[in-house]
């Protein structure tokens, strides 16, 4: 059992809009145990639609199509599906009445274009769209299922959740698939792969490992197919349990955890607060914490001390240190972290100062050099990292590395208890 997803529409094909529908559909199908064979994007052209849908039906038991169902001339999906299934377009009375009511409520004329939304191929089962005019359509032929849905994301999502997924589970009597994702930070993919090679080789054949890199974290996903859900969950848990001792403090958490959300959880649990003093990261650390709803519980704010005068006058960094060691130095990073902690009255202060690039590097301190510090009630720790030459990447990596320095410190305190 496998599925294809086809998005129809010139806007997606030519790159004017980014397709988010197919990722959403793939994730939902994955959750009910239907693997995706292929996703396509094609334009509003008859031959392309016939070729893609017909080709998909040769390989996959299920084809889900989105888009191309609008009332205007360029939307031809319905007409082409009628042709493909050799079934005439007929008026669907419930849809006709629903669209008529919808137009009346919006004060829009119920003209021929809108009336055409109620035409569907005679052979299909109509799936009622409560959020828009274009109905969903369910086709069956030679053991294959083809589902056509509107491209408007919230209409498509409602139809999938309310109609399509329940019908699929019933129609295909689906088996279980289980995924679980573990988040790591601090070791490159190639090193980690080598480090855990013997663990990976010992995985049973029905459990698969995937490395999922993202800009600042590395995710490891285990998937078990065609097995009893409960047993699979236990097996995956057992495998990850064996992995954890190999990971040590590069283990951050599970599923959607990030370095900053892990820190947030620890701070909330401890009833403690944080502030940040940022030079080269320029507000990115603050933005990462405040992007999470509920940040006000532990994140009080911070200072972006981009200019040295702000480091000196607002954070209390000494002119002596700035002159002697330079703005990018351990001494200044420490004073920044201590300064923002004192200024904001928080439990911890975190600081970064570095050379984001592409200019400003020196032989001693090349582009990508970042000093970071964490001030706690009892001590201040500092660390230097050396990243690359690309400004945006340096900023992103330095921000996460500084937050991770605090994460390690909090974890150490927890371990010592």
Site residues for a second copy, 361-400, by CB under 8 A, read: 386-388, 390-393, 395
Judged by CB under 8 A, the stretch of 80-88, 108-116, 137-145, 257-265 that binds a second copy is 108-116
The closest alpha carbon to 380, from 321, 339, 414, 411, belongs to 339
Least separation, in Å, of the C-beta of 123 and a second copy? 26
Q: Does 247 bind a second copy (CB under 8 A)?
A: no
Does the bond joining 152 to the residue before it have cis omega, within 30 degrees of 0? no
Neighbours of 93 (CB within 10 A): 9
Q: How do beta strands 119-121 and 207-214 pair?
A: unpaired
Nearer to a second copy among residue 136 and residue 339 (C-beta): 339
Q: Which residues pair with 36 in a beta bridge?
A: 3
| HEC secondary structure over 197-259 | HHHHHCCCCCEEEEEEEECCEEEEEEEECCCCHHHHHHHHHHHHHHHHHHHHHHEEEECCCCH
List the interface residues with a second copy, window 293-352 (CB under 8 A): 293-296, 299-307, 309-310, 313-314, 343-345
Place of tokens 């569907």: 120
The SS3 call for residue 329 is coil
Give me the 129-168 binding string for a second copy, x by CB under 8 A, dash otherwise: --x----------------------x--------------
Least separation, in Å, of the C-beta of 412 and a second copy? 23
224: left (phi over 0), alpha (psi -120 to 50) or beta: beta
Residue of 290, 347, 380, 411 interacting with a second copy (CB under 8 A): 290
Nearer to a second copy among residue 84 and residue 209 (C-beta): 209
Give me the 50-89 binding string for a second copy, x by CB under 8 A, dash otherwise: --x-----------------xxxxx---------------
Judged by CB under 8 A, the stretch of 78-86, 120-128, 168-176, 268-276 that binds a second copy is 268-276
Nearer to a second copy among residue 359 and residue 415 (C-beta): 359
Residue of 125, 324, 358, 362 interacting with a second copy (CB under 8 A): 358
| HEC secondary structure over 348-363 | EEEEEEECCCCCCCCC
Place of tokens 């002596």: 320
Distance CA 383, CA 378 (A): 17
Q: Does 213 bind a second copy (CB under 8 A)?
A: yes
Nearer to a second copy among residue 205 and residue 359 (C-beta): 359
Nearer to a second copy among residue 45 and residue 87 (C-beta): 45
């Amino acid at each position: 059992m496998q599925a294809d997803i086809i998005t129809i529409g010139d806007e997606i094909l030519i790159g004017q809009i980014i397709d988010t529908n197919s990722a959403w559909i793939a994730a939902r199908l994955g959750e009910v145990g239907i693997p995706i064979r292929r996703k396509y994007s094609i334009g509003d052209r008859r031959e392309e639609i016939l070729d893609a849908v017909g080709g998909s039906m040769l390989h996959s038991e299920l084809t889900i199509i989105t888009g191309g169902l609008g009332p205007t001339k360029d939307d031809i999906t319905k007409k082409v599906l009628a042709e493909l299934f050799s079934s005439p377009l007929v008026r669907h009375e419930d849809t006709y009445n629903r669209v008529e009511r919808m137009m009346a409520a919006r004060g829009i004329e119920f003209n021929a274009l809108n009336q055409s939304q109620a035409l569907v191929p005679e052979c299909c089962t109509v799936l009622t769209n409560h959020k828009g005019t274009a109905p969903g359509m369910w086709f069956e032929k030679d053991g294959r299922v083809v589902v056509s849905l509107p491209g408007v994301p919230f209409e498509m999502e409602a139809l999938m959740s309310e109609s399509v997924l329940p019908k699929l589970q019933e129609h295909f009597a689906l088996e279980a698939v289980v995924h679980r994702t573990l988040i790591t930070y601090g070791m490159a993919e190639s090193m980690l792969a080598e480090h855990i090679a013997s663990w990976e080789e010992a995985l049973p054949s029905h459990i698969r490992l995937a490395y999922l890199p993202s800009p600042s974290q590395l995710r490891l996903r285990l998937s078990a197919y065609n097995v009893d859900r409960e047993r699979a969950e236990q097996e995956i848990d057992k495998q990850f349990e064996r992995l954890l001792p190999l990971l040590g403090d590069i283990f951050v958490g599970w599923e959607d955890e990030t370095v900053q959300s892990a820190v947030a959880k620890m701070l909330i649990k401890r009833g403690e607060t944080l502030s940040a003093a940022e030079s080269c990261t320029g507000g990115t650390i603050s933005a990462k914490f405040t992007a999470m709803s509920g940040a006000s519980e532990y994140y009080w704010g911070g200072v972006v001390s981009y200019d040295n005068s702000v480091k000196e006058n607002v954070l209390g960094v000494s002119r002596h240190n700035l002159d002697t060691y330079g703005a990018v130095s351990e001494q200044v990073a420490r004073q920044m972290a201590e300064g923002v902690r004192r200024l904001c009255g928080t439990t911890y202060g975190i600081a970064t100062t570095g050379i984001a690039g592409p200019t400003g590097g020196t032989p001693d301190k090349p582009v990508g050099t970042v000093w970071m510090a964490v001030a706690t009630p009892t001590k201040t720790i500092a660390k230097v990292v050396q990243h690359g030459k690309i400004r945006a990447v340096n900023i992103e990596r330095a921000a996460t590395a500084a937050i991770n320095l605090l994460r390690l410190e909090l974890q150490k305190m927890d371990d010592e208890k």
